[in-house]
Structure formats: structure tokens, C-alpha cells
Structure 1
């Protein structure tokens, strides 16, 4: 249970800090930051899935979190400079992975919850 509690505490703490100390992103950088945030969310849901599968490794999570976010932002920037909407591919891939991970997390939670009810 502690493995699940720590990421949730981190998430809540991040939301509270973001609400108390808002960061304003210039409009020019908004597409890059939005892709990076989507990549980071993919890593968070992947980490939660790994926790549910008892396969979580903090080093894999941290390196994946920053690598995904930086690479996605960089690819969006390069695509913008080349005039090619590469960010659309990133949105599609990360969106699909987030929903897949969320479905797995939901099923695991329901299976554990239903087992406790019986």
C-alpha cells in the first residue's frame, strides 16, 4: 500500500504547489510544454501501472520521466522548425499509452477491490 501512497502524495503535492505558485508559460512555448506534460503524464501512469504489477523501479521511472518529456518537447520543436507537425505523432502515441495504462490500472484496482469484498 505504501508503494501506491507515495506517488499519490507526490501528485497531490505537485498540484497544490502548482495552484499556489502558478507558472505562466509564454504562448510561443505552449505547444512544446504541452507535449512535454503529456509525455510526463505517460511516465506517471506507466509508473502507477508498474507499482500495481510490483515491478516499479524508481531509477527507470525518473529517467523515463525526464527523457520522455525532454525528447517530446525537442521533437515538437524540431518539427516546428521544419514545418512538419511531428507533435501530432507524439500526442497520438502518448495518448494511446496513457489510456492503455489507465485501463490496466483500473482493472487491477477493481480486481483487488472485488477480491476484498468477497
Structure 2
């Protein structure tokens, strides 16, 4: 459960404690069996890697690029830090590109990003 974005330790521990009770687990399974749930497997190596976009992209809108990244399992970052995995840059990237290079964050052109996700 620690891979679920936005789910912290407190919630994870609460779920674990709740489902230790066999009656509660059995009831939850019964309810889930009534639902028509599609299981989506994400076998991408990008799961939990972070990505940030900067500059003007030429082939994609920023929102479209973010959507594609999310669908591949990336977490969208809001700033450059040493924990950032990828910075995708377009024209006029500004200071984010320089900071990413200083921190030795992997930088990608838009074309390289598209190759990475395909």
C-alpha cells in the first residue's frame, strides 16, 4: 500500500490493523466480489519515479505530457531537487534545467521523453 500516492503511514497502518480481523477481511472480500473491478497492472519501471516538465514543449501540451507520464507510473514533481528522477525540457527551460544539471538529475528532451514512455 505504500505505493499508493497520497496514502501515508498512518492510513496504511490503520488498514493493516483493520484487516487483521478475519471477519472484517471476509466482509470486505464479499463486497469486492460484488463489484465489477478492472485490475490494472503497471509493470513499468517508472513506477514511483518522479518527473518534471519545464520550458515550452513543441509536440505536446504540458497537460498532455503530464497525463502520459502519469499513465506510465511517474509521479509529477513540482520542483527540482536531488530526489527528482527526470527533468524534461523544451524551449526556454529557464533556471530549472541549470539546477537539475547541477544536482545531476537526468535531463531529457521532449523527443527523449517520448522515446522513454513508448
TM-score (norm 2): 0.26
- Which structure has the highest helix share of the two? 1
Higher relative contact order (CA 8 A, sep 6+): 1
TM-score (norm 1): 0.26
